[in-house]
Homo-oligomer: A and B are copies of this chain.
Amino acid sequence: MAKLDIKSLGIDFEHISNILKPLSHPHRLEMIIGLFHNGCTVTQCQERMGLPQSTISQHLRVLKDAGILKGRRKGTEVCYEVIDPFALQIIDLVEKK
Q: Which residues of A contact B (CB under 8 A)?
A: 3-6, 9, 11, 13-14, 16-17, 20-21, 23-27, 29-30, 33-34, 37-39, 48, 86, 89-90, 93-95, 97
Contacts and interface: CB of A to CB of B under 8 A. Distances in A.
Q: Is the interface of A mostly helix, strand, loop or mixed?
A: helix
A25 B3 CA distance: 24
A95 B20 contact: no
B5 A17 contact: no
Contact of A13 (B3, B26, B39): B26
Contact of A5 (B9, B16, B37, B93): B37
B93 A37 contact: no
Nearest to A20: B24
